[in-house]
Amino acid sequence: MATKFSSKIGLIAATVGSAVGLGNIWRFPAEAQGNGGAAFLLVYVACVLLLGIPVMLGEFAIGREGGTDAIGDYKRISPGSRWWIVGGMGIVASYMILCFYIVVAGWTLEYLVNSVTGDLFSGIADGTSSFGTKMQDYVSGDTKPVLYTVLMVAVNMLVLLCGVRKGIEKISNVLMPLLFVILVVFCVVALSLPGASEGVRFFLKPDFSKIDASVVIDALGQAFFSLSLGMGILITYAAYFPRETRLGRTAVIVSSLDMLVAVMMGLIIFPAVTSFGMEGESLEGATLVFVTLPEVFTRMPGTQVWSVLFFMLLLFAALTSTISIAEVSVRFFQDRLRMSRRNAVLTVMSPVLIFGTLSALSAGPLSGFRIFNLTFFNLLDTVATNILLPLGSLAMCVYAGWFAPKGMIADQLGNGSATRSVATRIVMFMLRWVAPIAIAVILVAQFN
């Protein structure tokens, strides 16, 4: 039997830690910019509330009922069936994500170190270097990205080895509040820049004519990725939820905080970019955080301080997410294959060194090595995020809505109470009908 989180706050911090990651900080603003700002935000919020929360609750219910790893939960709840394959798919998907996400986490650490040493800004003022060239050097080199990937693997191992309470819960308790403090500081600064209101307007004033099918597809994909759904992550964490935890309330808090971080990022990036007249710049993932934002920092007094703070924020967000992704496999090896925690962590993380290195080199020396015309990094990302994630969520919904033992999900949602609340009924309806259909449509639509 898995240990439980030791406090309510710790449970929320760890789960929010998983949800809040690079998805909120660099994927969200890029998606919002490309999809009409406020219009996207609106659809995204609707996706989280209508679909994200019910699917999250499905995972919570399965995880707490099963109380073990993602495969074991299905085996325990529906013995003799093949539903465990859904859990297996989650383990594979999360492992694939781990192998490229850890590389990006490595880049954030690298940028943090280079912000502290000042290397990031050397040669910028006199024009002998640019952030574009720096990014080439830090991200596409043949040694540094690998070195930082290895460092991030080591940090993850350290936290994981300390266990659920002393490792995951403890570090989340420290890093999550810090993350929010840094975010608030950035929000205040960005919103008080001259001309900030124009950016805020773009981000918060919806233009409904911009909403079309592709906006909805992107928003749903973003919502699921950001909430860490469909990969057995929340199933695994929910095994650490004590009996008395109110699942509904937890899901609402976690999703709200996750959305809040995304919205705050929007309130930081759009005003900052418009204020410095950089609207034309790409807000696309890596360029946004590694080129556009450092450029913004150089135009502010205290350049280095802002840069250090920002990359700390990014690192905290990435670290608490990678831990949750790795924990899915660690729990599997511990419970299913009866390994000690130490051996499970070593078994899970050692191959990450190899696959992580291959991903790290994909941005540089191995960029020519392609499978289906994708680099190793992009292949992992595409297969896991665009295919396995929606497929896993869809299968989980079908199971929770139709095939799980009668009343099991509702019992979990009501903490055993015999009366079914209206909220429980709504969630069951969403799990049975709305979520599976919506996810299936998106899954098919993205191939067109």
Contact residues for ligand PHE, defined by CB under 6 A: 18-19, 21-24, 97, 225-226, 228, 231, 233, 321, 324-325
Q: Residue 184, Cβ neighbours under 10 Å: how many?
A: 11
- Residue 20 CB, nearest distance to ligand PHE (Å)? 6
| Nearest approach, Cβ of residue 340 and ligand PHE (Å) | 25
CB of 33 or CB of 94, closer to ligand PHE: 94
- Least distance from C-beta 319 to ligand PHE, angstroms? 11
Q: How far is CA 232 from the centre of its chain?
A: 13
Least distance to ligand PHE, CB of residue 284, Å: 16
- Least Å distance, CB 91 to ligand PHE, is 12
Nearer to ligand PHE, 41 or 200 (CB): 41
Q: Closer CB to ligand PHE, residue 24 or residue 68?
A: 24
Residue number, 225 or 332, with CB nearest to ligand PHE: 225
Give least dist CB 135 to ligand PHE, A.
20
CB 142 within 8 A of CB 361: yes
Nearer to ligand PHE, 175 or 193 (CB): 175
Between 38 and 384, CB nearer to ligand PHE: 384
Residue 258 CA from chain centroid, whole number: 9
Residue 7, Cβ neighbours under 10 Å: how many? 13
Nearer to ligand PHE, 33 or 321 (CB): 321
Query: What does the alpha-carbon distance between residue 5 and residue 93 come to, in Å, rounded to a whole number?
Result: 25
We find the least distance from the C-beta atom of residue 197 to ligand PHE, in angstroms, to be: 28
Query: Tokens representing 343?
Result: 């051996």
